[in-house]
Amino acid sequence: MNFTDEMPVTGQIKRTDDGAVVIARVSRGSNVQEYHGSEMGFADRKIVRVYRPDDHVFSRDAINSYARKPITIDHPENGVTPDSWKDLAVGEIDPVGILRDGEFVTVPLIFRDAAAIRLIESADGPKELSMGYSAEIEMIDGVSPGGEPYDAIMSDFRMNHVAVVREARGGNQLRVSDGAHVPWGASPHNDRKDAIMADAIQTRTVLIDGLSVVTTDAGAQALEKLQGQITDAQTALAAKDGELAAKDAKIAEMANATLSDADLDAKVAARADLIGKAKAIAKDVETTGLSDAAIRKAAVVTVLGDAALTGKPDAYIDAYFDILSEDAAKGDPVADALTTGVTVATDARAEYVKSLGTAYLQPVGKGA
């Protein structure tokens, strides 16, 4: 059978980088609770008194069942299942730090949902906690160690979720909640006037886009959560708008950086000059598709080899390229000398042959 225990939040909510944390008591040990017999399957009984022994409330299996159970806003009608977890959970119970605290069980609650955190931090937000769990009921008469008579014993506790609720009908004491207040679970009997008044449907006024909307407490919480999600979405959209504006500015900057015809001509001329110098240094160097820096390096590597440039900065390579380029422009002095000598000899021979062909035309001198 399903049950819900309720108590106020006792710890201070502390904000963290990924949510908010509060240490709180969420369950109580040895005590007797009264339930409506009709809701527990006993139509012939008005009240059933149920005892919760410590050895069951604080058993290893029961304590372990708190770990990582989801936090919800109010009790879900059918508890939390894998199918509904994504829609219902606003946080979870941290498995590290679950402990027995006297007659209570104390757990660390980690709230992950921003809207839920705002809700519990608000002045009029819900401030009490209620465990939702399943347990076995055995009809056995007896008297508790505290001297309270009972009609049944509750055992085999297994936690399902912990709900944030606006009002625990047991006031400041942990207890199993009323079915009219919380649809999920069996209903305890309570004759307190404030508990009876809580059965009435309560309404709240919520401001939505400047309009006052009257709704139930659960509806108000749902609207507040939705408003928080809308605010988060608007923040995300504003961030995206900022990113798009930055991209537009970058595109405009790139458009303004487009080269003019004169700039393009100068760039082409500089590129041709660089390739010419590289070919002068090493005529077989490959330049197609290479950047200016890569062309300089390829020319120097052709002359010096890869090992000579290992670990050398770009400035070193550029300087060496300039040196090799200057040397290439000066030419080879030995080759130049040989070439000049051949040219002079060739020109002299041509002049001699020409003189032989025209010698007979010269006047014969008078001899003795």
| Contact partners, residue 57, CB within 8 Å, separation at least 6 | 27, 28, 29, 30, 105, 157
Please tell me the predicted confidence (pLDDT) of residue 221: 75
18 and 117 co-located in one domain: yes
304 shares a domain with 270:
yes
Within a 13 Å sphere around the CA of 78, how many CA atoms are in the beta-carbon half?
A: 6
> For residues 309 and 124, what is the distance between their CA atoms, to the nearest angstrom?
73
pLDDT for residue 326: 86
Q: Which residues contact 122 (CB under 8 A, 6 or more apart)?
A: none
**Does 153 share its domain with 296?**
no
pLDDT for position 153: 92
Instruction: Identify the pLDDT of residue 348.
Output: 58
174 and 284 inside one domain:
no
Residue 101 shares a structural domain with residue 244: no
For residue 109, the model assigns a pLDDT of: 92
Domain of 270 in residue numbering reads as 261-330
Stretches in the chain below the pLDDT threshold 70: 1-11, 30, 167-204, 206, 210, 216-218, 255-259, 331-368
Q: In sequence order, which residues have a C-beta less than 8 Å from that of residue 363 and are 6 or more positions away?
A: none
Given this model, what pLDDT does residue 82 score?
94
Residue type, 113: D
Tokens for 54? Answer: 């410590």
Q: Is residue 367 part of a domain?
A: no
Tell whether 144 and 285 lie within a shared domain. no
Structure token pair of residue 56: 């069951």
The pLDDT, as a whole number, for residue 40 is 74
In DSSP notation, 311-327 reads T--HHHHHHHHHHHHHH
Burial per residue of 127-140, b for 16 or more beta-carbon CB atoms within 10 angstroms, e otherwise: bbbbbbbebebeee
Residue 357 is predicted with a pLDDT of 55
Same domain? 304 vs 163: no
